[in-house]
Amino acid sequence: MRLTDLRPLYGHPGPWASAYADIGGDAEDARQAIPLRARSAREQLLEQGADPATADAVHQAITELRGSPGRRGLAVFATGGRVVHSEPLPDPPPATRAVWAPLPHVMPLLVQRGEQIPHLLVAVDRTGADFSVWSLGAGGRETPEDAQEVQGSTDPIHKSHPGGWSQPRYQRRAENTWDRNARSVAAEAAAVAERFAVEAILVTGDVRAVALLREHLPARWQETVTELDTGGRAEGTSPAHIEAARQAAVATRAARPRMAAADRFAQELGRHGLAVEGVGPVVNALAEGKVLTVLLEDRPESEARLWIGPDPGQLALFSEDARLLGVEVPQQDRADAAIARTLAATAADLVVLRPGDGAKPADGIGALLRHE
């Protein structure tokens, strides 16, 4: 994933308050719980030395929310007495957590972003289809767009029963109608997919309608199709079942580029090619502008630290090295926070590794390089 959308965040001097809170639950639960979570975040920040104005800004940003049905979280970043950025999360944190540090603590946010891709859900039958789009907003978050419907011809839509002089004619007319409807649905699906730059088209519904839709989609979109066995538009289909299948399919799709990067990293490292591992080598490669992709394990309790300056390119293992980079008063912060800021200032990608991805870089961090 690219972090360039976070650049405006790093345009503000720190120190920073970063808070993660659960904003899910029904209205009654939220009315009671959210103020308690907001107060917890404020108290954590004050205990770490945050100024009251910034702690109050975080508190207000959380308490202003009335809660959202289901599982939802919120990330809040504030400095200088005001909230600079807040972003909803698909999953809540295990507990309310607030951090006061020189840089925004964005890693929990990036972990969830890595599981999201823009995608289109098409629920299809032989008369038409319902479209729902999840795009990635400016913050890189999955955002449902307005749903829409494409309705085709319905006369005649069912094949006649066996027997009778008109059977072949009506069967052909039915199949022609199905085919014509599928062409309309495919054309609209391709247009919507293009508009929102989706990475996957998820299709559910009548088996024959799904097959016709796949047949009429342009080749570039056929390769992105995943079929869901959920019933689609059929009466009695469970929305919860469709949603669970959608989320599972998205998670599977989102894992593909991550697994590909992990495999390539292991190959390059094995032949001493365009890959390095460990905090020191990765920091050096970033300083030299060689990094194509950083692979980073999510280690919430990590104690790895780097020395930084006000410029995103000023990061070092030791304070003396930071001074050699022109930093008058080096500050120390989490290694993942410092590296995220550097990546936001470059065109390099970030891959957040998951257990089972195969790659196990030293210190939980590695990099694929552009050149030696």
- Amino acid in the structure at residue 196: F
Q: How does DSSP assign 268-330, residue by residue?
A: HHHTT-SEEESHHHHHHHHHTT-EEEEEEE--TT---EEEE-SSTT-EESSHHHHHHTT-SS-
Can you tell me the distance from the alpha carbon of 113 to that of 18, in angstroms, rounded to the nearest whole number?
A: 16
Which residues are bridge partners to 331 per DSSP? 308
Mean pLDDT of the chain: 85
pLDDT-based confidence at 364, cuts 50/70/90? very high
pLDDT-based confidence at 144, cuts 50/70/90? low
Residue with tokens 């030791």: 318
Is the per-residue pLDDT at 155 higher than 90? no
285 vs 231, residue with greater confidence: 285
Peptide bond into 15 cis (omega under 30): yes
Is the per-residue pLDDT at 214 higher than 70? yes
Reduced to 3 states (helix: H, G, I; strand: E, B; else coil), residue 16 is: strand
Is the per-residue pLDDT at 157 higher than 50? no
pLDDT of residue 70: 65
Is the per-residue pLDDT at 18 higher than 60? yes
Sequence-distant (6+) residues with CB within 8 A of 226 are 200, 201, 202, 203, 249, 252, 253
215-237 mean pLDDT: 86
304-316 mean pLDDT: 95
6 vs 150, residue with greater confidence: 6
pLDDT of residue 350: 95
Can you tell me the distance from the alpha carbon of 66 to that of 70, in angstroms, rounded to the nearest whole number?
A: 13
164-181 mean pLDDT: 58
Sign of the Cα pseudo-torsion (66, 67, 69, 75, in order):
positive
Least confident interval from 148-162, 203-217, 255-269: 148-162
